[in-house]
A and B are shown apart, each in its own frame.
Chain A
Amino acid sequence: MIEIDQVHKSFGDLEVIKGVDLTVAKGEVVSIIGGSGSGKSTLLMCINGLEPIQRGSIRVDGIEVHAKGTDLNRLRRKIGIVFQQWNAFPHLTVLENVMLAPRKVLGLGRAEAQEIALKQLAHVGLSDKLEVFPSKLSGGQQQRMAIARALAMSPDYMLFDEATSALDPQLVGEVLDTIRLLAEEGMTMLLVTHEIRFARDVSDRVAFFRNGLVHEIGPPAQVINAPQRPETAEFLKSVR
C-alpha cells in the first residue's frame, strides 16, 4: 500500500504540492488527471524518493520513504516507474537495457537475468528486437522497452508518468494496451495520464489534481462521468 499523508513539497519558494492525501491499496489502479504544472510528476518522484518533501509523510508498505535511515535503493526495487521521456540507455541493446538492473542491483547471474529479461520483453511484445539498439526503435517500442525494464525488477508497484504523451498518436495504442494488460494481471498502479477514456476504463479510482492538491477523487463513474466540482468538469471539457 502507498500512503500519502499531507505531503507538502516546494522547489525553493515555489510550493508545488500543498498537502496531498492519497492512498493506493494493493491491487488497485489509481489514475491522476489534471492540468500541466499541477504537480503530478513531482508527486510521483516524491513517492520513490527521487525528490525530497518538506512536510507530511509517504509510506510504501509501511516504510517511511523520506525517513533518514531508509535505504532508497532497496525501496526503489519494489517501485517501477515509467516516464514521459522514454529514457532508453542509448549505449545498450534492448536486451542489455532490461538485464542491467537485475544484474547490478539484484546481483543475479547473466543466465538468470537474461531469462527474466526475455520473459518481460515477450510480455511487451519486443521479442524480435533483443539485439537492437534503442535508436533503431520507434517511440512506442522504446516506451514498451522501458516498461519491460521496470517489470524486470519484479516491482510491487508501477508508476506511470504520462507514458504516452510524447508518442505519435498511432503509437499510443500499443503502449496503453501494455498498461491495460498489467492492470488485468492485478498490478498495483498509479497512472498520471491525459488519456481520459483510458483512465476511465482501467482505473478503480481517479484523482483530479489542481494547484498541488487532490481536488476531487472517486470512482471513474463519478469523477469522469459525473464530476462533483465545477473545476473538474471544466478540465474534462478542455481535454476532450
Chain B
Amino acid sequence: MFSTSLTANDLLFMLQGAWVTLKLTAAAMLIGTLAGVVFGLLRAAMPYATLPLSWALDVFRSVPLLIQFVLFNSLKSLVGLDWSAFTVGCVVLGVYAAAFCTEIVRGGVLAVPTSLRRASRSLGMSYWQDLRYIVLPVATRVAFPGWLNLVLSVMKDTALVMWIGIIELLRASQTIVTRIQEPLLVLCIAGLIYYLMSLVVARLGARLERRWQEDD
C-alpha cells in the first residue's frame, strides 16, 4: 500500500513556492525584455558604438548565475543598498535575461532585409515609422521562438535564488524533503509543477506563432 507523510499543507507550501517562481520569472522577463529590446535595437543600429555594451552583456551571459547572485548580494551589503532578497533576485535575473534578450532582438532586427526598410523609407516613412510599423513587427516574428526559450530557461534558473534565501518552488520542496525524507515523491511533484508551468507558457507561445504563420 502506498503511504506518505506528505500533507496537504506541504503541497500548499510547494504551490506558494511555485507562485514565487512565477513572480520571479515574470519580473525578470519584464526587466529583461524591456532592456533587451532597447539594447538590441541599439546594437543593431550602431554595431561599433555599442561594442562596450556588448562586452558588458557578455560578462552577464558567461558568468554562472549563482556567482552573480552571491556577488551581487555581497555588493549590496557593501554599498548599503536596502533591497529585499526578492528584489535582488529580480534584478540579477532581469539583467541576465536582458543580456540574452539583447542578442535575440538584435538577431531579429538584422533579419529584416535592408530592401524592405528601403521600401518603407521610399514611401516617405520616417526612421521611427519604419521601426514601429515594419521592423519591429517583422523582427518580433523572427525573434519570438528564441524569446520563448529564454522564458523557459529563466523559469528554471529562478531555482538558484534559494542561495540568497528566497523560498521558491525548489527550495520549498527541499525543506519538505528534509522533514519527511521522501525525496523521490517530492521532487517528482516539484518537477511536475515546473513542467506544467512551462507547458502553459509553451502552449500560449505556440498559439501565437500559429496565428502568425497563417499570415505567411
Q: Which residues of B contact A83 (CB under 8 A)?
A: 115, 118-119
A232 at the interface (CB under 8 A from B): no
Closest Cβ neighbor of A87 among chain B residues: B119
B137 to A: closest C-beta gap in Å: 5
A240 at the interface (CB under 8 A from B): no
Q: Which residues of A contact B181 (CB under 8 A)?
A: none
Is A153 within 8 A of B123, CB to CB? yes
A28 to B: closest C-beta gap in Å: 21
A24 to B: closest C-beta gap in Å: 17
In angstroms, Cα B119 to Cα A50, docked, is 10
B121 to A: closest C-beta gap in Å: 6
Please judge, given known A-B contacts A89-B134, A90-B215, A135-B216, whether A74 and B124 are in contact too, CB under 8 Å.
yes
A133 at the interface (CB under 8 A from B): yes
B129 at the interface (CB under 8 A from A): yes
In angstroms, Cα B112 to Cα A87, docked, is 11
A110 to B: closest C-beta gap in Å: 15
Is B215 within 8 A of A105, CB to CB? no
Is A76 within 8 A of B216, CB to CB? no
Is A89 within 8 A of B116, CB to CB? yes
0/1 string, A41-59, CB within 8 A of B gives 1:
0000100101000000000
In angstroms, Cα B124 to Cα A150, docked, is 10
Is B115 within 8 A of A101, CB to CB? no
**What interface size band does chain A fall in?**
20 to 34
Q: Which listed residue (A80, A105, A150) contacts B125, Cβ 8 A?
A: A105
A48 to B: closest C-beta gap in Å: 6
Q: Chain B at the A interface: mostly helix, strand, loop or mixed? A: helix
A202 to B: closest C-beta gap in Å: 22
Please judge, given known A-B contacts A87-B116, A133-B215, A135-B215, whether A101 and B123 are in contact too, CB under 8 Å.
yes
B153 at the interface (CB under 8 A from A): no
Q: Which residues of A contact B134 (CB under 8 A)?
A: 89
Q: Which B77-122 residues sit within 8 Å CB-CB of chain A?
A: 113, 115-116, 118-122
Q: Which residues of A contact B126 (CB under 8 A)?
A: 73
Q: Which listed residue (B119, B121, B129, B216) contacts A104, Cβ 8 A?
A: B129
Is B122 within 8 A of A50, CB to CB? yes
Is B124 within 8 A of A73, CB to CB? yes
Q: Which A52-106 residues sit within 8 Å CB-CB of chain B?
A: 73-74, 76-77, 79-81, 83, 85, 87, 89-91, 100-101, 104-106
Q: Number of B interface residues at 8 Å Cβ cutoff, please give it.
A: 22
Is A105 within 8 A of B141, CB to CB? no
In angstroms, Cα B141 to Cα A77, docked, is 29
In angstroms, Cα B133 to Cα A48, docked, is 21
0/1 string, B194-216, CB within 8 A of A gives 1:
00000000000000000010111
In angstroms, Cα B122 to Cα A74, docked, is 10
Is A101 within 8 A of B125, CB to CB? yes
B162 at the interface (CB under 8 A from A): no
A4 to B: closest C-beta gap in Å: 18
Please judge, given known A-B contacts A89-B134, A90-B216, whether A105 and B124 are in contact too, CB under 8 Å.
yes
Q: Which B134-171 residues sit within 8 Å CB-CB of chain A?
A: 134, 137-138, 141
A40 at the interface (CB under 8 A from B): no
A16 at the interface (CB under 8 A from B): no
**Contact residues of B with A, CB < 8 Å?**
113, 115-116, 118-126, 129, 133-134, 137-138, 141, 212, 214-216
Q: Can you pick out 15 interface pairs between chain A and chain B where the beta carbons lie within 8 Å of each other?
A: A50-B118, A74-B124, A83-B115, A83-B118, A85-B115, A87-B115, A87-B116, A89-B134, A89-B138, A91-B138, A101-B123, A105-B123, A105-B129, A106-B124, A146-B119
